[in-house]
Structure 1
């Protein structure tokens, strides 16, 4: 079978205007649309059991079939990230983005008043540094693009930034590899994205952990089982109405291929938030996937724009300076 793509990175933000400004002005992601949602179906898909309401922001970089999706829930009200949260706590926890202009990116970040967590370090001749997203709450790694950075990042859109990896802290590394690799179908690779020394970048200096790397399309998934410090388990009430890194979606353009993931997950004894057919194009969420969430999504080419996978034309128009004050 062809490995599925990691097609969507789903995050909860407490300030969508600031979030859009951050990812567009600092990194160069393009807005791909926004939605205001309030429906029973949304509440069921997200696993709330009742009505669901949210404002949603879509953004894209240069890669095909890769989308940043930012949520701010109003029904139920979005819950803030716990003050004691650490990036080794169980669940999706970190994001890596490559940029060709590392120095200029840091200058734009500083202009927004956002500090980095450490000074930059050099890995294989390329620089890396993290900041904590003030609206989502997670560490985001800025990675200098270059030949020595693992992976291949296509240029489907005429944009610069690319998502390199998503990271998830797991309770059992072998179980997580068996799920995301053996059941979901992501490709396991003998690649090292980070040494133990690089844990300092997101505030876990001297951490001891085991890691595995999988790939979905052009994005790596870095699985980490932390021994010291041990990650806190997911709370029993950890649902998708929270701030932070909620989940990722995996899938294909062809719904029939995505259906294979759905069927394998069902065969493994896991369930879905809504009882849609396996070939359902829209998103659906797995319940209880290895102590964290996961989503499937199909993105046929004909609905790419409607689903927020293409840059959207600017909504605001600024009149030329010589037009100000003129009438008639």
Structure 2
């Protein structure tokens, strides 16, 4: 019997890798887990659906087992910076949500780091939330209380001493129905059964709340689909290497899970880009409806799992 594919990674394209890594460690409590410089080449470009690819990369981990943040600093193609008037209602990957063990400490650190909250604190202890932008402008929602939804409880706690866990990602789409079909039928997500936000969380949207929302889950990870009547398309010439949230990845330690899901993705409306293999590990990027980027990966070997940044540096 094999495990289902679960979300195992959130990836970013950043302009200042050192500053970003320092902020996520010192302010939020993530642990460095490795990295590499001057990577890429034709196979990596084909996997990511890019014309060329040369980059530095780094990883960080929190409380969860087999889950990481992945940060790319692209040298080629040269990443376009976030547009100055970027808004949470713009189409694409829009935000991630984090549970933290000490909400007050994190809010204090945000101010000390020169990145004060971007929204008022909502709710009262022990259920407070606040929005903040990281040094690259990515919107984060910080939660004092963990998400408690049936089937989405935080499991696989590998590092109970870690003070942070990634709990959800938000994706702004034009057509929730079409996107739901892609994530459920091609990628195996399930409906979570209840919303992640209510009217009391309106300030966290940094503007008007969305017209429609739908919450899905894959393992313990939640995916919040939202739509607005006036969402802007991605900038002309957009590439996933441009600054901001890049994608999420579904992963498994069992190769047969990966192969099965990759086959389903090929049978869907998704574009499956080239596959990159390193030993027994493999990864592929998909482009789904509306230009959504998702990665599929398998790492059945513990040594490769460590080398790929899923365990903190010793």
TM-score (structure 2 length as normaliser): 0.91
Residues 11-22 of structure 1: pairs in structure 2 closer than 5 A = 11-22=12-23
Deviation >6 Å, runs of 4+: none
Shift of 1:40: 1.8
8 Å Cα contact 1:234-1:292 kept in structure 2: no
In 2 relative to 1, CA 298–84 (structure 1 residues): closer, same or farther, beyond 3 Å?
same
Residues 43-122 of structure 1: pairs in structure 2 closer than 5 A = 43-50=45-52, 52-122=53-123
* 1:42 equivalent in structure 2: 44
Shift of 1:191: 2.1
In 2 relative to 1, CA 160–170 (structure 1 residues): closer, same or farther, beyond 3 Å?
same
In 2 relative to 1, CA 44–103 (structure 1 residues): closer, same or farther, beyond 3 Å?
same
- Does 2:176 align with 1:178? no
* 2:286 equivalent in structure 1: 286
- Does 2:135 align with 1:145? no
8 Å Cα contact 1:95-1:140 kept in structure 2: yes
For residues 54 and 195 of structure 1, what CA distance do their matches in structure 2 show?
Answer: 40
Q: Which runs of 5+ in 1 are unaligned?
A: 314-328
Q: 2:158 aligns with which of 156, 159, 170?
A: 156
Shift of 1:127: 0.5
8 Å Cα contact 1:170-1:291 kept in structure 2: no
In 2 relative to 1, CA 97–276 (structure 1 residues): closer, same or farther, beyond 3 Å?
closer
8 Å Cα contact 1:67-1:308 kept in structure 2: yes
**RMSD over equivalenced CA pairs, Å:** 2.2
* 1:297 equivalent in structure 2: 297
Shift of 1:139: 0.9
- Does 2:201 align with 1:198? yes
For residues 94 and 178 of structure 1, what CA distance do their matches in structure 2 show?
Answer: 21
Shift of 1:13: 1.3
* 2:260 equivalent in structure 1: 260
Residue aligned with 1:84, SS:
coil
In 2 relative to 1, CA 208–44 (structure 1 residues): closer, same or farther, beyond 3 Å?
closer
For residues 217 and 84 of structure 2, what CA distance do their matches in structure 1 show?
Answer: 31
* Per-residue CA distance 1:207-262 (angstroms, 9 max, x = gap): 342111111122100011113xx211234522121000111111211111011111
Residue aligned with 1:42, SS:
helix
Shift of 1:146: 4.8
* 1:222 equivalent in structure 2: 224
For residues 274 and 109 of structure 1, what CA distance do their matches in structure 2 show?
Answer: 40
8 Å Cα contact 1:87-1:138 kept in structure 2: no
* 2:7 equivalent in structure 1: 6
Bigger-Rg structure (1/2): 1
Higher alpha-carbon deviation: 186-195 or 167-176: 186-195
In 2 relative to 1, CA 261–144 (structure 1 residues): closer, same or farther, beyond 3 Å?
same
8 Å Cα contact 1:3-1:186 kept in structure 2: no
In 2 relative to 1, CA 293–280 (structure 1 residues): closer, same or farther, beyond 3 Å?
farther
8 Å Cα contact 1:90-1:292 kept in structure 2: no
Residue aligned with 2:130, SS:
strand
> May I ask how many residue pairs the two structures share in their alignment?
307
